Copies of this chain bind each other. A is one copy, B any other.
Amino acid sequence: MRRISIGCSVLGLLLALALPGPAAAFEPFRPLPERPPIPEGNPQLPARVALGRTLWFDPRLSVDASVSCNSCHDLLAGGTTPRSTAVGAMGRRGRRNPPTVWNAAFQTALGWDARYRSLEHLAQAHFLDPTVMGWADPGGLEARLRAIPGYRKAFRRAFGGAQPVTARHAAMALAAFQRTLVTPDSPFDRYLRGERQALDERARRGMERFVEAGCAACHFGVLLAGPVPGLALQPGQGFYELFPNFPGSPYDALYRLQDDPGRYARTREPSHKGMWRLPTLRNVALTAPYFHNGSVWSLAEAVRVMGRTELGRELSAQEVEELTAFLRSLTGRLPAIQPPRLPPLPPEGALPGLPGG
């Protein structure tokens, strides 16, 4: 079997120990906390969160003012986009399906290839990514934001200092806002907390199958994306999967599963070929289309693909039905979203970097 054991061996052991007793069998899962870890360097100051919320919806963060963060990580569309790959600034298409922003604050590494260490790091990189915000350098974005009086005031309130409007601060504010994007109280969480009827019979059987079939060997922990919180893992351990693990199925061609070498494209390390950061399964019913290339629309089909390519076998119709029911129980409570009010340009002002700006 070609299963990759990076980090999974520890859990394999846990599972093997746990499986005999049905109650203990679900130890790999943890309910989603109401709040994610907050890094010491970026406290959740209300002014910072509020600024991040405004920036989140502001298309002026992109070089041609055509996309906001919310364009590709749409809070009304599962925190992602229904497109297979998103369209960024200047109409440029990204190469991979945008991961959901809901609960992203619980991730230990971000991006399909785990290239980002934190939400702050991700935001700063996205500003300069030609397929995302498209800036040639942070200075362009900073000049843009400084031209907007409301931002000068809001950055000062959130960060203080003589020159608070910086790309770094924008990234910090965006990260602070994203740390509020948590969807607790899914039926699964309520079940884990002891509310037995929160899952119906089918979803409960799906949860058992999820562990027995081996899905939970990788999809475990708070996000069902590994690693278990509190279990010390080094970077590079515990959150990659080889996809497809069992190549050669008709799905490979149908969904172009090997169209992208994953983390290898970034690191050029041969062992990283086909390696991907494990995506969270929370709210997975809302985040179609699936996989790095957004090639599969239906959740049940994604389950069938995973069975064949990761577990090496065809799942039965009943298994697919039960696993899908379980996955649907991972949809949390999503808050209503107030449409934003973006700070205006002064009437005399043009928007730096834009004709007609």
Query: Is the C-beta of A22 less than 8 angstroms from some C-beta in chain B?
Result: no
The distance in angstroms between the C-alpha atoms of A84 and B317, with both chains bound, is 46
A298 in contact (CB, < 8 A):
yes
Nearest-CB residue, chain B, relative to A75: B339
| Proximity string of chain A (339-357) to chain B, C-beta cutoff 8 Å, 1 when within and 0 when not | 1111011111111001111
Q: Which of A66-74, A220-228, A266-274 contacts B (4 or more CB under 8 A)?
A: A66-74
Q: How large is the interface on A (under 10, 10 to 19, 20 to 34, 35 or more residues)?
A: 35 or more
A255 to chain B, nearest CB (A): 6
Assess the B299–A344 pair: CB atoms within 8 A: yes
Cβ of A169 < 8 Å from any Cβ of B? no
Identity of the chain B residue whose Cβ is nearest the Cβ of A251 in the assembled complex: B356
Q: Does the CB pair A339–B339 fall under 8 Å? A: no
- Tell me if A254 counts as interface (CB < 8 A to partner B): yes
Asked if A13 is an interface residue, CB under 8 A from chain B, the answer is: no
Would A351 and B65 be within 8 Å (CB), given that A254-B356, A356-B254 are in contact? no
Candidates B66, B77, B84, B336; contact of A70 at CB < 8 Å: B77
The B-contacting residues of A in range 299-357, CB under 8 angstroms, are: 299-301, 303, 317, 320-321, 324-325, 328, 331, 334-342, 344-351, 354-357
Known: A339-B75, A339-B337. A299 touches B66 (CB 8 A): no
Q: Is residue A59 within 8 Å, beta carbon to beta carbon, of the partner chain?
A: yes
Q: How far is the CA of A299 from the CA of B297 in the complex (A)?
A: 39
Question: When A299-B344, A321-B348, A334-B339 are in contact, do A70 and B76 touch as well, CB less than 8 Å?
Answer: yes
State whether the Cβ of A164 lies closer than 8 Å to any Cβ in chain B. Answer: no
Minimum CB–CB distance from A144 to chain B (whole Å) comes to 11
**A78, B59: Cα distance in complex, Å:** 12
In the complex, the chain B residue whose C-beta lies closest to that of A318 is: B347
Determine whether the beta carbon of A301 is less than 8 Å from that of B356.
yes
- Provide the residues of chain B in CB contact with A346, threshold 8 Å: 300
- With A68-B77, A71-B81, A336-B337 given, name 14 new contacts (CB 8 A): A65-B288, A70-B76, A75-B339, A76-B339, A297-B351, A298-B356, A299-B345, A300-B346, A300-B348, A301-B357, A320-B347, A321-B347, A324-B347, A335-B339
